[in-house]
Chains A and B, each alone.
Chain A
């Protein structure tokens, strides 16, 4: 496999976060809605109806292209992409052809310690099709059901140049694309719910000078399936070439359950979309002032934010990377940091305890009952020695279920740190007596034994001892044993 050059390009569709559809005023929140309730003559393609472009959809598509460093073309022209399918009532999809919103952009991401730049070929806007339901309640045999709620939902399509050279790199690129569209608020980028969809072009070649035969892979519904499908496809193509067989250009569908790609032959020859400019939609000339106004909304992008967190707060790259993957998580971190200025400690708590509690509840940070200020207060209490880290973990858990402040929980439960030296000395003495081996180990130079002994004291006091004081007393006691 090492003797082959892998070339991958991505085609990503993102559902734009508008309230209404692209060319009519039906709502876009179709998820979980009864079929054919979010429809009107325009999105149903009824004769005589005329499309009118949604300004917000236009703005979000432009914003996407700008965030991906594209050159924005001065005129927006929509084309009809003609094909017949039951989920497309007009017989054509309104899309863009030779004049997309933006061209010649790039996206950067870090991969295996290197900064990679993948060129963006184009970013264009188009409408989604409806949904075909093949199985379900009482559908007559040999029939499908059509739901037009999704028909006309605004999408932005992002096409990369074939600059990717492994399934791993393709996945990283896709993750960054997802993060960018989330950061700028154009899409929620949720692959499982279909608001972000990805197709890929894959080819392998024995020589870097000559491109192999391009195969298009579709139907990948998660980041994991994109990676698996690409890896499968690369292996399949290499195997065929090794056997001396030739590849042909085709579309293949990823079968998640079987973990293989299957040829979707028969469809290609029918692919002749006969694009032409949609006479119902006048071209729009984009003024510089309009473009500038949109661009002003671009907030800090994930890669820049990661670098800033690493420089400003001295976070390690890995940790900074996890934080910025989710904008709301990084926002929470920076909000809490305002009231608890120990970035490393805060970051550790975020990435371990906070994430653990979120995962257990199956929610994301925006749904959390704990505010950044509340987390900061909890960490301040540890810092001041009012409670131990162990106790704080339990308190945080309770904060997540009740939404109460740390201080309230602590006082309600009567938790307090035992700082009374007399009381602690008694426990330390007991622990030392019970663990002669550890004491001997420590005295012979094994530092670890000290931690074990502190741990035993914490255990005896159910985490309520002030660990700093325990350490002092222990050290004094051990010094006297020498």
Chain B
């Protein structure tokens, strides 16, 4: 059965992502997201009873880092990429409202 994503859900996701869109854009998203979802709906045709969800496609023990510091030399370059800096702080619009 196909599940439709409502406009309200699209609006919630946009809000969670702190993004704003025009009504037209939201309507377009609704359409796009629904076509993506209906594509994946095809997977529901498979009988997956007894198969556990796959979150990772590789197995075995992953590598671990030793607890020894390595300095990244390009740290100043990052500041050059920021739209605005103040000293070494990256400047962003204030989002805390009291």
Taking A144-B92, A145-B90 as contacts, is the C-beta distance between A55 and B65 under 8 angstroms?
yes
List B residues 40-98 near A (Cβ within 8 Å): 55-72, 75, 78-79, 84, 86-96
Q: Which one, B59, B71, B75, contacts A36 given CB within 8 A?
A: B75
Query: What is the number of residues of chain A that contact chain B, defined by CB distance less than 8 Å?
Result: 55
Cα–Cα distance between A132 and B96 once the two chains are bound (Å): 10
| B92:A84 contact, CB within 8 angstroms | no
Contact string, A44-84, partner B, CB cutoff 8 A, digits 1/0? Answer: 10000000111111100000000000000000010000111
- Residue B4 at the chain A interface, CB threshold 8 Å: no
Contacting residues, chain A, for B66 (C-beta < 8 A): 55-56
Stretch at the interface among A110-118, A186-194, A203-211, A269-277: A269-277
- Residue B16 at the chain A interface, CB threshold 8 Å: yes
| B90:A36 contact, CB within 8 angstroms | yes
- Residue A311 at the chain B interface, CB threshold 8 Å: no
Cα–Cα distance between A54 and B64 once the two chains are bound (Å): 6
Contacting residues, chain A, for B95 (C-beta < 8 A): 85-86, 144
- Name the distance in Å between A353's Cβ and chain B's nearest Cβ: 40
| B65:A25 contact, CB within 8 angstroms | yes
- Name the distance in Å between B1's Cβ and chain A's nearest Cβ: 23
- Residue B22 at the chain A interface, CB threshold 8 Å: no
- Name the distance in Å between A311's Cβ and chain B's nearest Cβ: 38
Contacting residues, chain A, for B3 (C-beta < 8 A): none
Contacting residues, chain B, for A44 (C-beta < 8 A): 78
Contact string, A195-222, partner B, CB cutoff 8 A, digits 1/0? Answer: 0000000000000000000000000000
Cα–Cα distance between A25 and B73 once the two chains are bound (Å): 12
Taking A270-B15, A276-B55, A282-B62 as contacts, is the C-beta distance between A36 and B88 under 8 angstroms?
yes
- Name the distance in Å between A396's Cβ and chain B's nearest Cβ: 40
Interface of B is mostly: loop
| A144:B69 contact, CB within 8 angstroms | no
Interface of A is mostly: loop
| B70:A145 contact, CB within 8 angstroms | no
| A19:B67 contact, CB within 8 angstroms | yes
| A277:B56 contact, CB within 8 angstroms | yes
Contact string, A113-152, partner B, CB cutoff 8 A, digits 1/0? Answer: 0000000000000000000111011111011111110000
Cα–Cα distance between A366 and B57 once the two chains are bound (Å): 50
- Residue B20 at the chain A interface, CB threshold 8 Å: no
Contacting residues, chain A, for B78 (C-beta < 8 A): 36, 39, 44
- Residue A20 at the chain B interface, CB threshold 8 Å: yes
- Residue B39 at the chain A interface, CB threshold 8 Å: no
- Residue A284 at the chain B interface, CB threshold 8 Å: yes
| A146:B90 contact, CB within 8 angstroms | yes
Cα–Cα distance between A279 and B56 once the two chains are bound (Å): 6
| B69:A277 contact, CB within 8 angstroms | no
Cα–Cα distance between A53 and B63 once the two chains are bound (Å): 8
Taking A145-B91, A146-B89 as contacts, is the C-beta distance between A140 and B64 under 8 angstroms?
no
Q: Which one, B59, B61, B72, B89, contacts A26 given CB within 8 A?
A: B72
| B93:A144 contact, CB within 8 angstroms | yes
Contacting residues, chain A, for B92 (C-beta < 8 A): 86, 132, 143-146
List A residues 245-295 near B (Cβ within 8 Å): 270, 272, 274, 276-277, 279, 281-285
Cα–Cα distance between A53 and B61 once the two chains are bound (Å): 12
| B64:A53 contact, CB within 8 angstroms | yes
Cα–Cα distance between A53 and B64 once the two chains are bound (Å): 5
| A143:B91 contact, CB within 8 angstroms | yes
Contacting residues, chain A, for B84 (C-beta < 8 A): 140, 143
Contact string, A8-34, partner B, CB cutoff 8 A, digits 1/0? Answer: 000000000011100111110000001
List A residues 290-314 near B (Cβ within 8 Å): none
Contacting residues, chain B, for A138 (C-beta < 8 A): 86-87
B15 and chain A: residue at smallest CB distance: A270
Contacting residues, chain A, for B90 (C-beta < 8 A): 36, 145-148
Which residues of chain B have a CB within 8 Å of any CB of chain A?
Answer: 12, 15-18, 55-72, 75, 78-79, 84, 86-96
7 residue pairs from A and B, CB less than 8 Å apart: A23-B65, A25-B65, A36-B89, A53-B62, A136-B86, A144-B95, A147-B90
New A-B contacts (13) at CB < 8 Å, excluding given A147-B89, A284-B62 = A20-B67, A24-B65, A39-B75, A52-B65, A55-B67, A85-B95, A132-B96, A136-B86, A143-B91, A144-B92, A144-B93, A146-B91, A285-B61
Closest 5 CB pairs of A and B: A145-B89, A277-B55, A40-B72, A56-B67, A282-B62
